[in-house]
Amino acid sequence: MANVLVFAETRGTALRKTALEAVTAARAFVDAIGGGEVHALVAGPSGVGATASQLGEHGADVVLVAENAGLEKFDRESITSTIAARATAVSYRAIFLGFSAQGRDVGPRVAAKLDLPIVTDVTEVQAAGDAIVVKHPAYANKVIVTLQVSGPSAVIAIRPSAVTATPSAKTAKVETIALAAEPSASRVVVKDVVEGGKGKIDLGEAPVIVSGGRGLKAPENFKLVEDLAAAFGNAAVGATRAVTDDGWRPHSDQIGQTGRQVSPQLYVAVGISGAIQHLAGMRSSKTIVAINKDKEAPIFKVADYGIVGDVMEVVPALTAAVKEAKAHH
Amino acid sequence: MAASNAFFAFVLTLSAGFFALNVQRLVRYMSLGQPEDRTDHPFERLKNVLTIGIAQTKIFRDPVAGTMHAFIFWGFMVLTAGTVEILIQGVFSGFSYALLLPKPLYQLYGLSQDGFAGLVIVAIGFAFYRRLVLHPKRLEGDKLEHTDALIILSMIGGLMVTLLLTNACQFVLDPSSIGPEKIISRQIGGVIGVLDPSPLFLVKVFWWMHALLILTFLNYLPYSKHLHVATSLINVYLSNTSGPGQKGVMRAMDLEADVEQFGASDVENLTWKNLLDGYSCTECGRCTAACPANLTGKLLSPRKIVINTRQRLMEKAPLVTGDRMEFLHPALVHGEGDDAGATTATEVLEHRLLDTYITEEELWACTSCRACVQECPVSIDQLDIINQMRRYLVLSESRFPEEIQPAFESLERNGSPWAFSPGDRAKWAEGMDIPTMAEAMERADRPDILFWVGCMGSFDDRAKKITVAFARILKAAGINFAILGQEEHCHGDPARRMGNEYLYQMLAKDTIGTLDRYEVKTIVTSCPHCFHQMGNEFPQLGGNYEVIHHSTFIERLLQDDRLPLNTDEGKRLTLAYHDSCYLGRYNDVYEAPRETLRRALPVVEIVEPKRTKDRGLCCGAGGGRMWMEEREGKRINAERTEELLSTGAETIAVACPFCMTMISDGVKAADSSVPVLDIAEVVERQLVG
Amino acid sequence: MKIAVCIKRTPDSESRFKIASSQTAIDETGLKFDIDDFASYAVEVALQLNEKQGPGETVVYAVGPDLVQETLRKAMSMGADRAVQLKTDAVPYDGIAVAKALAAELKGGGYDLVLFGKHAFDTSGGIVGTATAELLGIPCVTAATKLEIANGRGTARRDLEGAAETVEFPLPAAVTIDEGIARPRYPSLKGIMAAKKKPLETKPAQLGAARVTVKSMDLPPERPAGRIIGEGAAAVPELIRLLQTEAKVL
């Protein structure tokens, strides 16, 4: 029997997806080591306590709520201190959190403060006797490393989206706790947060990229690519050197040896032959789809899925299909 | 000695002295350059002087202007004899060659003087017409350049006219003194005799005009582009651009040397030969007219590079040498654009050849195709200056187009200019039963030949097909060969061409180590860049191998009947072959690929594009440009492809994987479906079985 | 400014990796090593800051065996002034253990700024930078995509998922550097020659106990060979199905 602490990240008063994933992982771990409690710590501006029910639904036995007006913006220092203070006061087998952008800031600090070992970007957690065994990808996802964490406690930072948030309803007991430090005393001050929602998603960050090449025949036809990108919702639009050189697209859209090098989850190459210089820019994409009317085109050698056909025909059909698929999720 | 003789002797001494001082000054400026030894192979060098210089072989590449210039040049040489006679006569009135030569020879001499004077006048007339009326594009210079040219043409014209008029007057005064061989002079004499039956005064006037024109002309030379008159034959002798030795080999560089900087940023970093090149440039513009970068709208002009070198030398050298003749700052020795307008000594010293005169943009636009060097009638090596300055940019300032940094880094880490995994290098050979050197040596089965695949041939999808085709040819011919497989990595040529000598030497030395470890003697490769690098430049670093390009190799196989080919009559096929610069201008391999094509396709008709063989237009990928963006003007490959397509050829053949990429891209951009094939692929398709 | 940059020697990211026979490490045969990518951005940031802000010192640190000296020399050939090797036979996977060694060395160094790469290519931990900052008791900003220093204070931009956060902090501070912030300069030959003469100190690394150890390393399941799934618009439904079920990207 041992308890586990979870830092549940919020933005403002809303829980982030990664927080629920962390709770799910913590729940599974606790159950695997023979039962215990999952304590979810949530810190935010007033009203953040309302997240307790959601946390309970996903397996939290206790929800520790630290409300403070100074937490309108994320304050890493006071949150770190609060987690550390709690973990000092109460003994935990492990501290879970999501390895998000903010998690990267908090996790290692907590570990250093408490002199605990920490593992990050974790995709699987298992108890193995006295040790905790985790898996995480290294070498740019080319190698899966299995790590053994020894010691009475550890910090486990879960890779976002590696665990699916699963309901495991508990009636969570809500406890109010105080922040261990005043946000106003923090040295790192958040000046502003600018939502990137509108406007172009950066090629380097987009999980999906739809790229067009000379096979589109004319600059007007790039609309097909844009429509497909819009259908995905979170996609950026890229281009090959041939079409940026011809002025169809701005140079900043060029993907290739002399342009951007990208590795999205999904890369859709529309009317792109796959010349060596372009491949150099996108080969490490997780999944590559190619649409080209030339079945000998080199792009098909690197694509996971290829469709041989006229892009004018295939792309609109694909756009419609993607829209539908997204609507049903 | 009459007073006039004494006076002339005085004038002659003064002129000669002034000229000598200028020569000394120019030589002193030139010696600011780095040392270099050009005393080797005197006979070969002399041969170049006779062919390129005296016989004007490169000048005749432009048949019309070439003839015009040849007349003027030969005339100049022949008339020099007469000039000497006249100058001596100025001091010793009674002197004449008639005193030294037997009569028939003297008459021949007289005929030559008259005859060439006439030819030169005709040529000068045409030259004026050309410059003033025709305005050929390559003669576009600034106002100063035009003025200089017109002054020269006028002086030469004046010299010829005054010569003939002097003789003519002389004939009137004493008909026996001008022999019948002096046809033109006598004719003119006839006319003058009518106007002035005793032109005692006129003859003196014309004589003095002629003599003073000679001396003025002589002393105008150091201030004019006509300096080439004095330096061109010397320059041709001392040049390496047409041999002796292998053409197109970049300078060796000792990177261990304890020097202030690597490469050239200013004139004193270049060698004295580069500076002599500067003196010898006549601003004819043939180089720039042949430059693929220039004719597609880039800033680069090989002529400008050379003229800027001279301009900068003229700007800096007087200061550095403490030249007291600096007050005669030769504002006439100009060229493309103004000098940099420095007004104080500090400004002059702050300026340098790089940036003030020659910009980065120009230097990186070069494809190293060697067309400029090929065309230059006085054997200037424009490419050498460009290469030395690229080395400076990369090695000393790390300044280069940012898009080539990944290529450098990839070469260093991956052994290839592209980000491909070295483990994938021999994937093309899967299932083909081709041993690696390591495997062959383990079996104690020493291969006769190493097939060097190259990075394009190993990783580029299109080029891999060429590799497979050639491998099949080797197998069909029963050749005992091996590949290096994963032990092969780039020999560094792209790095060298882009100025990164340090990275190049690292890669090249390592490659030589591997080749020597396997005691490789003979290498065949399908890439002209690999061919040139390993065959011609490796010796600098101690690597000596016989390297054969696949076009030559296949031709030999065909000659020796070692390839069973289908010779059935096909439809007559018109095919255009695009000459690779590194095969052609660098290594004079023009016929082997064509012969190979003819033997492989008996019913082929090879159509030549307008710019072919040693005038062939570059595909645009050389000089490291394969890894650079082309941002200005028209794309070079588009220009070349248009030309190839306009021949009406049904197929285009190439012998280089870079040309393959560039021409294929060009064909696609032109919305054409004309197939582009490597000659290995053409041959492989005809293999029996 | 006095800036410390902590770098790591990692294999080239384009390589194909194989697992060594020990099953707990990758097979290093034939691999080329260099400064870790993110760490090289950090070096570039440090050099640019000192170039902009007047005279300063950039010192690079690396933990590892003597092989890392080559990596430190590379950083010096870019322009770093001196280097310190914290010597150990093998770099532990445990980020806290490494952070302790760095903190012990950096303490009392008088650094205005301590820079790290966001994470290292080989361990992909993202731990060392932030943890070292905590041990030194200085503020830390992780994964900065923009960094400016003025009057003893720093401003940094960080990417959050779908948003960008701007933070301000006092010096001394630690920052871990994300990509896109600067392009690492290519060392000139001059720089390479100069680096050979710059000071490189070697000290033993005071590592913490390694509580995180590698149990095994495996290659991810093979990516199935790409295939053409069909022709024309008719192939679209199959593509959607595969993207949803097999690739799981939709």
Task: Encode pLDDT of C44-95 as tens digits.
Answer: 999 999 999 878 999 999 999 999 999 999 999 999 999 999 999 999 999 9
Q: Tens digits of per-residue pLDDT, B57-116?
A: 999 999 999 999 999 999 999 999 899 999 998 888 888 888 888 988 888 998 999 999
CB contact under 8 A, C186 and B409: yes
A198 pLDDT exceeds 60? Answer: no
B42 pLDDT exceeds 50? Answer: yes
Question: Between β-strands A235-239 and A208-212, what pairing exists: parallel, antiparallel or unpaired?
Answer: parallel
Helix (H, G, I), strand (E, B) or coil at B30: helix
Average pLDDT value over all residues in chain B:
92
B540 pLDDT exceeds 60? Answer: yes
| Nearest C-alpha neighbor of A55 from the set A68, A42, A44 | A42
pLDDT at B334: 44
Interface test with B, best of C10, C26, C186, C197 (most B CBs within 10 A): C186
B413 closest CB neighbour out of C12, C188, C192: C12
B210 pLDDT exceeds 50? Answer: yes
Rounded Cα distance between C242 and C227, Å, is 12
- For the stretch B384-413, what's the b/e string if a residue is b when 16 or more beta carbons lie within 10 angstroms of its beta carbon? bbbbbbbbbbbbbbbbbbeebbbbbbbbbb
* Cβ proximity of C17 and C33 under 8 Å: no
CB contact under 8 A, A276 and B418: yes
Q: Tens digits of per-residue pLDDT, A11-65?
A: 888 888 889 999 999 999 999 998 899 999 999 999 998 999 999 999 999 999 9
For chain B, what is the total number of helices (H) and then of strands (E)? 28, 8
Half-sphere exposure of B369 (CA within 13 A, CB side): 31
Chains contacting chain C through 3 or more C-beta pairs under 8 A: A, B
Mean pLDDT of B330-356: 71
pLDDT at B333: 46
Helix (H, G, I), strand (E, B) or coil at B163: helix
CB contact under 8 A, B418 and A274: no
Chain B within 8 Å of A242 (Cβ-Cβ)?
A: yes
C169 pLDDT exceeds 90? Answer: yes
Chain B within 8 Å of A174 (Cβ-Cβ)?
A: no
Find residue C26's DSSP bridge partners: C19
Rounded Cα distance between B656 and B544, Å, is 23
CB contact under 8 A, B396 and C188: yes
CB contact under 8 A, C189 and B422: no
Rounded Cα distance between B164 and B156, Å, is 12
pLDDT at A197: 47
* Cβ proximity of A239 and A212 under 8 Å: yes
pLDDT at A310: 92
Q: Hey, what are A52's tokens?
A: 């307790």
Q: What is the pTM of this model?
A: 0.87
Chain A within 8 Å of B420 (Cβ-Cβ)?
A: yes
Choose between B505 and B631: higher pLDDT: B505
Residue B527 pLDDT grade (very low, low, confident, very high; cuts 50, 70, 90): very high
**Edge-to-edge strand ranges of the sheet holding A124-128:** A124-128, A131-138, A143-149, C212-218
- The CATH architecture to which A208-327 belongs is 3-Layer(aba) Sandwich (3.40)
pLDDT at C194: 93
CATH number 3.30.310.50 is the correct assignment for the domain at C2-204: no
pLDDT at B336: 42
Q: Which long-range contacts (CB under 8 A, 24 or more apart) does B531-534 make?
A: B531/B582, B531/B583, B531/B587, B532/B248, B532/B493, B532/B582, B532/B586, B532/B587, B533/B491, B533/B492, B533/B493, B533/B496, B533/B508, B534/B452, B534/B491
Pick from A147-156, A163-172, B56-65, C25-34: least confident: A163-172
Residue C162 pLDDT grade (very low, low, confident, very high; cuts 50, 70, 90): low
From A329's Cα to the closest Cα of chain B, the distance in A is 38
CB contact under 8 A, C95 and A118: yes
CB contact under 8 A, C185 and B255: no
pLDDT at B569: 66
Residue A170 pLDDT grade (very low, low, confident, very high; cuts 50, 70, 90): confident
B444 pLDDT exceeds 80? Answer: yes
Fold of A4-185: Rossmann fold (3.40.50)
CB contact under 8 A, C226 and A305: yes
Q: What percent of chain B has pLDDT over 70?
A: 97
pLDDT at A44: 93
CB contact under 8 A, B461 and A276: yes
pLDDT at A194: 83
pLDDT at B176: 82
CB contact under 8 A, C17 and A306: no
pLDDT at B233: 96
Cβ contacts of B627 on chain A, cutoff 8 Å: 257-258
Interface of C to B at Cβ within 8 Å reads 12, 14-16, 30, 32, 34, 183, 185-192
Q: A with B: how many residue pairs have Cβ under 8 Å apart?
A: 37
Average pLDDT value over all residues in chain C:
93
Nearest CA in chain C to A311: C232
Q: Hey, what are C191's tokens?
A: 């720089």
CB contact under 8 A, C188 and B412: no
pLDDT at B335: 41
From A250's Cα to the closest Cα of chain B, the distance in A is 13
pLDDT at B575: 95
Chains contacting chain A through 3 or more C-beta pairs under 8 A: B, C
Interface of B to C at Cβ within 8 Å reads 255, 261-262, 394-398, 400, 402, 405, 408-410, 412-414, 419-424, 486, 501-502
B331 pLDDT exceeds 60? Answer: no
Q: Based on C-alpha coordinates, what's the Rg of chain A?
A: 23
Chain A within 8 Å of C75 (Cβ-Cβ)?
A: no
Chain A within 8 Å of C247 (Cβ-Cβ)?
A: yes
- Name the residue ranges covered by the structural domains of chain A: 4-185, 208-327
Nearest CA in chain C to A201: C162
Q: Which amino acid is at C120?
A: A
- Secondary structure (DSSP) of A275-329: -HHHHHHHTT-SEEEEEES-TT-THHHH-SEEEES-HHHHHHHHHHHHHHHHHT-
* Cβ proximity of B291 and B302 under 8 Å: yes
